[in-house]
Amino acid sequence: MIVILLGMPGSGKGTQSKRLAEKYGFNHLATGDIFRGEIAAKTSIGEKAADYLKKGRLVPDAIVIEMVAGKIEKGSKYLLDGFPRTIEQAQGLAEMLKGVGSAVDLVVFLTLPKEEAIKRMASRRTCTKCGEVYNVTSRPPKADGVCDKCGSPVIQREDDSEATAAKRLMVFEDLTHPLVAYYKSEAAFHEVDAAQSPEAVEAALSAVIDSTKAAR
C-alpha cells in the first residue's frame, strides 16, 4: 500500500507519519528528514541540497526523484511524507511505482489555515539528531533544549524562522497545492482537518487508511 500525506509546512505531516508508520508498519519516507541527514553527513546529495533547504526553496525535481527512486522497493508499504511536492515529482513517482508493479493507493491532504501553520512553525523545535518534534508551549522537552528520546540538542530549524517559513508557505501554494487537483483525479483522495488535536487527526487518518485497506 502506498499512502501520500500532503499538507503545508506545519500541518503535522511528520508527526502523524511517524505515528501511522508505527501503527501500520509503513516504511516512513520523509524527504525533508533524508535531506537533513545527508546535509549533516556532508554527502554529495547533502551538498547539493543544503542551500535550497536553508532558503526554503524546493530541491530540484531531478535530484529528489533520483534520491527517492533509490529507496523504493517492490512489495513494500510506504508512507510518503513531503514527497511528491510538484507535479513533475508526482509523475516521477508514478513511473517508479509502475516499475515495481505498484501505484499510489491513497492521498490525504491535511488542511490548515495559513496563520495557524505560521504559528506552529514559530513554536516548533526539532532534535538535531533523531528529528523528534517538540513545541515550546504545548510539548516542550523535559530538560530545556535536550531531546527526551536521544539526549541531543533540540533547536529551532533554520527554515522554521519567520522569513523562511513564509517563503515555504508561498512555495507550497505555488508548486505543491496543485497536487490536490492532480490527485483528485488520479487516486483515492481525502481531506483531514489538521487544526484538530493530534489525537483527533490521527484517528481521522486511521479511519481513512482502514477504509482504503478494506476496499482493496
Q: Which of 18, 19, 36, 124 is catalytic?
A: 124
CB under 6 A: which stretch of 77-85, 135-143, 144-152, 187-195 binds ligand AMP? 77-85
Answer for which of 2, 26, 29, 35 binds ligand AMP (CB under 6 A) is 35
CB under 6 A: which stretch of 21-29, 58-66, 92-100, 204-212 binds ligand AMP? 58-66
CB atoms inside a 10 Å sphere around CB 89: 21
10 contributes a contact to ligand AMP by CB under 6 A: no
CB atoms inside a 10 Å sphere around CB 216: 8
Q: Which helix (H) or strand (E) holds 200?
A: helix 198-215
Residue 88 or 186 with smaller CB distance to ligand AMP: 88
Site string for ligand AMP, 148-187 (x = CB under 6 A): -----------x--------x-------------------
Q: How far apart are CA 166 and CA 122, in angstroms?
A: 11
- Indicate the Cα dihedral angle 199, 205, 209, 210, nearest 10°: 50
Nearest to 49 by CA among 34, 68, 71: 34
Sign of CA dihedral 73, 96, 79, 133: positive
Binding site for ligand AMP (CB under 6 A): 9, 31-32, 35, 52-53, 56-59, 64, 82-83, 85, 89, 159, 168
What residues act catalytically? Answer: 13, 85, 124, 157, 168
